[in-house]
Structure 1
């Protein structure tokens, strides 16, 4: 076979189609004379796989025919598995042959029905089951069915033979009919010599029979056939066979043991041949053992996919032997389709040299339509949600998106609770953006970034900042939260914001230090806040006051006692201005590795940073919308930082060009109000493999094409997506993520990025701690 291509077919597990659809495929292939196509089943690496080997020019036709009959199958070109085999000298192969004349058919699929139970038995189950149990788990077994359309000359001979038999000149004595048919149909020289007298009689009688069959005669023959083949005679069976498309076929079974043992191999081959005995009809036809071939000769013959001393089978017989198994087949090890592939939308934004406003997401994987695609900048303003189990590809996808944004010069923020994602991004930042990098790493023991949410306390933002700070603590202590605690904390924050020059360290001091509290209250002008401190808190009995403030002292004090957090939130002057960073398109990388800063500290800082992004984004209301620069904020494991204000971010932030890409592992991590906000406001949803419970919920978002089982069975780096395209949600489609892109920098360059960032946006820890110490004494 020239220009050979090996196609692997993954079988749809919910396939309900029987052999009849394969019959249509073979009927179509019959129109292409002289083309050889090999249909193969193999147990390779303890996996039963289906292959079609053919010439390159036939690939498109065969793929289209398979997809037409098995829409959910997956086909991909693979390297020939025969070339990969080792120890071929150990191999043993057997060729099958027909028991009787080719004019008689084997048992066909409609005859496998269990009439008593009214169940259609799939004959492929007998073949696949025989491939499961091998002598050694490292052994391989291959089955090959090589076919090509039978030339018209031979088809006419077959038809003539049937017409002669139908004339009844042998008195319908089956043994005589079989003998004469063997003599008349044989394509070998020596049988013709042995059976010459019978062959001469056939030739003499055939002289008076037209060799070619006209349309009327063809129709009259077809009237005698029965699709169910119920109670058919030998003649009826022969007629039924020859009126269908006929193929010249060679069937081979190759057994490749890990260790050379011809006797064991022959025994296993005999067992495998036994699986083909299910197609035998005593009074018609069947298969039996032919020649054994050994070692390199066997492998070469198998690899060539040639027809040698072939047998004639029609499309129905071929479909009986080879078709994709349906749901009734319970054979283990079959290489099933784990989750169906779905067609991409026609208007999918493709990635090419002219797609500057498109951020790369992945590539389509439907039926060989491999195209890199992305999401348009306008559609990203409606945000993206990514969900999937750990290790399925979320981080790789986000890394590609972040790097894609950085390379084209966009402003990017990344909050990473693990640290690995930021480390990978740092290695792919191009040199021209070195000065844009802002790294916030609380675990740095020598430098501390200043971040003071109390710094921006002007009247217009005071209420928003206060709600954000209170919301952070409310999320962290939701189980023990109460109205009195919130009331005291809210008034404490409002007082500190109005006093100016305060930090979060002032919360505990405000409640426990009378002198400090007196100085702050003296600066308060808001009558409601002032009345709380003078009339309500100031006149509270000592016992009740201690009881009231103890929860706040415990909860806030727990964080402030950690020098990592204290050094960040205790600086009066912030060293990072998120509004400036967003407006100027900087790269803000926030490393909140739980293993370095602790889970609770990471959650507090992350919530603060997310809230600050929201507040500063909404502060862009002071400039026209067209002048607001897009800023792309990525938050991994965002449920750790999702406060009550998060719903506001999802619904309002797009107006202020804060475009979110959020990710987490499973939906039950999300509070109901956050979950509703996500699925109510997010424009694009992408799901990697999830659990069945999440699959049920997400499948409702994706529509009826995606079942929970599909979502629960997605392989690594594969996903389903509903993408916003030009403001409209697309139909759900499948995709594969791309490997990380961009040049990888060496450690020297990464260290330079870190050094530049520290010099610009951080202070030495010794200096920070000295200032905090002095502040606590005043």
Structure 2
């Protein structure tokens, strides 16, 4: 029998089992998508703009507490909630927007939760001014890209597994406000330089992780793997010398204790805990993973767009967006990188221009509808409240962009005992 005919014979004999399983899986996903879309389409949502005065001495730690408070919308969904109602956990969209030189900070939420969001923001930023505003995406044509408008953008993903953290705000901080570094300053300056007909949008969609312990479980697996890694790999020149010394020591101990040499080596391994076998850099990685998995996490989707009229569209602005996210990348831990499946680059294959056009149109629609449905090519990844606060927070005095929308004066507090109707 021909070797290459074996797979064909297997499929021929088992198609009646495989085919229903595949069809059931497809039907299950399609049904869930349909039910969730019906549920989401009925929801009313609001866009809140947050403005703060210049004199704000708050670090991103305040935003971390805001996000931890907003995580309170988490609830356990049962079978009926998911498969009959199509219910999904509430989500939020954190958006940094540059519109023709002006910089805005928005939080998109379900209308029934807007007071809940305001309370969490006011708790940490009592001088903030929060106003429900018109959706800025509605001010542009719905059919972008077209003859008069062009865009470029991408979805982002984590380079490594969820438990490995990106660079966090503590690594940018200094004790003195004037020496404190803030990556928001860089992107605010770029947005401040946008001309008429240019727009730059950064969107971070967050939804409490369905399984509260998912990140902790994944982190435990990573730590176990790091702590019990294969120690029999090539030791190198220095490691080889050390192993030779260990071998001689083992031989000496075996003679002194009257036991076989193999047992001595096993006893030596038991004498040294796994953490003692890690390099200083590896210990830092384990510590960072433990720190990330100890905090509340959100399922996250991130994307950015640069949109401009065709006559002013400037591709030189695109590297600035990548530069903003490079602030949070590290080689030993994790990085935010483009999802190549969403990049609107031209393909080397057939219909290369058409494929680029549809990718741009798809990106614009995904951003506009702020959807968390599983129909997107990008899959959510897990970031904790500390990482999210690093990526999205309201800037203090260190950010001097002149077109940053701010409150001209602090919001006065009402006198105590004021009667309320």
Select the residue among 342, 349, 369 that pairs with 1:304. 369
* TM value normalised by structure 2: 0.63
Pair 1:69-2:124 in alignment: yes
Say if 2:149 is the partner of 1:93.
no
**Residues in 2 aligned to 1:341 and 1:172: alpha-carbon distance in whole angstroms:** 64
2:335 pairs with one of 275, 286, 289: 286
User: Secondary structure at the residue paired with 1:332?
Assistant: coil
Shift in Å, 1:168: 2.7
Contact preservation (8 Å) 1:124, 1:320: no
Q: Could you say which residue in structure 2 is the equivalent of 1:79?
A: 134
1:164 aligns with 2:224: yes
Is the Cα–Cα contact under 8 Å of residues 6 and 54 in structure 1 kept in the other structure?
Answer: yes
Does 1:60 pair with 2:115?
A: yes
Q: Is contact 1:162–1:239 with CA below 8 Å preserved after alignment?
A: no
> CA offset at residue 45 of structure 1?
3.5
Contact 1:109-1:320 within 8 A present in 2 as well: yes
- Aligned partner of 1:604 in structure 2 is none
- Which residue among 46, 52, 72 is the counterpart of 1:31? 72
Contact 1:46/1:138, CA 8 A, preserved across alignment: no
1:69 deviation in Å?
A: 0.5
1:276 aligns with 2:336: no
Q: How many residues align?
A: 292
* 1:150 maps to which of 188, 209, 213: 209
Q: Among residues 37, 53, 64, which one is paired with 1:12 in the alignment? A: 53
CA 1:171–1:80: 2 relative to 1, 3 Å:
farther
Shift of 1:259: 1.6
For residues 125-524 of structure 1, the aligned pairs below 5 Å read 125-134=185-194, 136-152=195-211, 154-165=214-225, 167-171=227-231, 233-259=284-310, 264-265=314-315, 267-290=316-339, 291-293=342-344, 294-307=359-372, 308-345=378-415
> Aligned in 2, Cα 1:85/1:54: closer, same or farther, shift over 3 Å?
same
Distance 1:71 1:235, change over 3 A: same
Unmatched 5+ stretches in structure 1? 174-229, 351-370, 372-778
The structural deviation recorded for 1:32 is 1.9
Post-superposition offset of 1:248: 1.0
**Runs of 4+ residues deviating >6 angstroms:** 115-118, 346-350
- Residues 248-257 or 162-171, more deviating: 162-171
Structure 1 Cα separation of the partners of residues 380 and 286 of structure 2: 22
Structure 2: gaps spanning 5 or more residues = 1-39, 75-88, 234-280, 345-358, 373-377
Q: Cα distance, 1:346 vs. partner?
A: 6.3
Q: For the structure 1 residues 347 and 166, does the alpha-carbon distance in structure 2 shift closer, same or farther, using more than 3 Å as the test?
A: same
Partner of 1:677 in structure 2? none
Work out whether residues 10 and 337 of structure 1, in 8 Å CA contact, stay in contact via their aligned partners in 2: yes
3-state SS, counterpart of residue 131 of structure 2: strand
Per the alignment, in what secondary structure is the counterpart of residue 53 of structure 1? Answer: strand
Shift of 1:316: 0.4
Q: How does 1:663-674 map to 2 (within 5 A)?
A: none
Aligned match of 1:663? none
Structure 1 SS opposite 2:164: coil
- What is the CA–CA distance in structure 2 between the aligned matches of 1:237 and 1:310, rounded to whole Å? 21
Instruction: Find the aligned partners of 2:216 and 2:288 in 1 and give their Cα distance.
Output: 17
Instruction: Indicate the SS of the match to 2:73.
Output: coil
1:49 aligns with 2:104: yes
What displacement does 1:166 show?
5.2
Which digits, 9 at most, give the CA deviation of each residue in 1:612-645, with x for residues without a partner?
A: xxxxxxxxxxxxxxxxxxxxxxxxxxxxxxxxxx
Q: Does 1:40 align with 2:91?
A: no
Q: 1: CA distance between counterparts of 2:304 and 2:203?
A: 6
Counterpart of 1:13 in 2: which secondary structure?
coil
Question: Does the C-alpha gap of structure 1 residues 295 and 231 become closer, same or farther in structure 2, counting only changes over 3 Å?
Answer: closer
d(CA) in 1 for partners of 2:175 and 2:69? 31
Aligned in 2, Cα 1:331/1:232: closer, same or farther, shift over 3 Å? Answer: farther
Change (3 A) 1:118 1:342: closer
* Change in CA separation of 1:109 and 1:348 when aligned onto 2, cut-off 3 Å: closer
Asked if structure 2 preserves the Cα contact closer than 8 Å seen for 1:40 and 1:50, the reply is yes
CA distance in structure 2 between the partners assigned to 1:112 and 1:68 by the alignment? 24
Contact 1:38 1:147 survives alignment (8 Å): yes
The one-character-per-residue Cα deviations of 1:535-576 (angstroms, maximum 9, x if unpaired) are xxxxxxxxxxxxxxxxxxxxxxxxxxxxxxxxxxxxxxxxxx
| Map 1:101-112 → 2, pairs under 5 A | 101-112=161-172
Give CA-to-partner distance per residue, 1:217-259, whole Å, 9 cap, x none.
Answer: xxxxxxxxxxxxx996111111111111111111111111022
**Is this contact kept in 2: 1:7–1:78, CA < 8 A?**
yes
TM-fit CA distance, 1:12: 1.9
> Partner of 2:343: helix, strand, or coil?
strand
Report the CA distance between 1:56 and its aligned residue.
1.3
User: Cα distance, 1:171 vs. partner?
Assistant: 4.7
Deviation at 1:114, TM superposition (A): 5.8
Please report how far the alpha carbon of residue 3 of structure 1 lies from its aligned counterpart in structure 2 after TM superposition. 1.3
Q: Deviations over 1:692-718 (max 9, x none)?
A: xxxxxxxxxxxxxxxxxxxxxxxxxxx
1:503-532 deviation per Cα after TM superposition (whole angstroms, max 9, x unaligned): xxxxxxxxxxxxxxxxxxxxxxxxxxxxxx
Distance 1:169 1:252 in 2: 35
Partners of 1:344 and 1:236 lie apart in 2 by 46
Task: Tell me, yes or no, if the aligned pair for 2:177 and 2:398 is still in contact at 8 Å.
Answer: no
Q: Judging changes above 3 Å, is the alpha-carbon distance between structure 1 residues 172 and 81 closer, same or farther for their aligned structure 2 residues?
A: farther
Rounded to whole Å, the distance in 2 between the matches of 1:322 and 1:48 is: 13
Asked which structure has the greater CA Rg, the reply is: 1
Q: Does the 8 A contact of 1:127 with 1:276 survive in 2?
A: no
| TM-aligned CA distance change 1:316 to 1:171, over 3 Å | farther
**TM-score, normalised relative to structure 1:** 0.35
Residues 58-105 of structure 1 deviation map (CA, whole Å, 9 limit, x = unaligned): 211110010111111100001111111237322332111222222110
Higher RCO (CA < 8 A, seq sep 6+): 2
Whether the 8 Å contact between 2:216 and 2:294 is mirrored in structure 1 is: no
